[in-house]
Amino acid sequence: MNNFSSLVILGYGNPSRGDDALGPLLLHRLLEYCDGQSLVKFVEDFQLQVEHALDLTDNELALFIDASISQPPPFGFSRLQASQALAYTTHAMHPSTILHIYEHTFHNPAPPSFLLSIRGESFELGAPLTAAAERHLDAAFAWVQDLCACPEVAAWEAKVKNH
């Protein structure tokens, strides 16, 4: 993997709720894949909170990873924009809200940020990861490896258009 400017990867979801574990599971795979890359910061949590705006500081690029029941399989990849609009999701805050909080708090634009939404099928408490989610996780991992090979905004935006 190339050395690159600072990148923060935030994987979130509840490992006790079946496919909701997709964000943290991909984050763990990436931790092993990056194996000590000092310019990559990894953040794992059950859900996004106001404090995650601080995780964006001193980073030039951000990737949010989450599970989604509404995402067509295997995953979606999109550019995020700061927004204080309320979103109804399985989590308390949407990444766009985190970007808005960052900009409001630090009076600077948030780093270019992207969302990888991995399709999940079952989010029941105590449920295991589904076979479909495991396939989607594998596809997402291959995709993110490609992103990490070229962590530049223009390259990631091209991926959004071609996905």
Q: Does residue 41 or residue 162 have the better pLDDT?
A: 41
Residue 17, in any domain of the structure? yes
Q: What's the CATH code of the domain at 72?
A: 3.40.50.1450
Residue 10: the pLDDT is: 97
Evaluate whether 136 touches 18 at the Cβ level (below 8 Å).
no
pLDDT tens for 25-42 read 999 999 888 876 667 889
**In the structure encoding, which two tokens stand for residue 9, read together?**
């990867």
Q: Is 109 domain-assigned?
A: yes
Phi, psi of 62 (to 5 degrees): -135, 140
Which residues are bridge partners to 77 per DSSP?
A: 116
- pLDDT tier for residue 53 given thresholds of 50, 70 and 90: very high
Structural domain includes residue 52: yes
pLDDT tens by residue, 61-110? 999 999 999 999 999 999 999 997 655 444 468 999 999 999 999 999 99
Q: What is the distance between the alpha carbons of residues 101 and 104, in angstroms, rounded to a whole number?
A: 5
Query: Looking at the whole model, is its pTM more than 0.85?
Result: yes
Domain count, the chain: 1
Q: Is residue 14 part of a domain?
A: yes
pLDDT reading at 12 higher than 80: yes
Helices 131-149, 22-34: inter-axial angle, 10-degree rounding:
40
Task: List pLDDT tens digits, range 101-131.
Answer: 999 999 999 999 999 999 999 999 999 999 9
Which residue range is the domain that position 94 belongs to?
Answer: 7-162
The reported pLDDT for the residue numbered 150 is 82
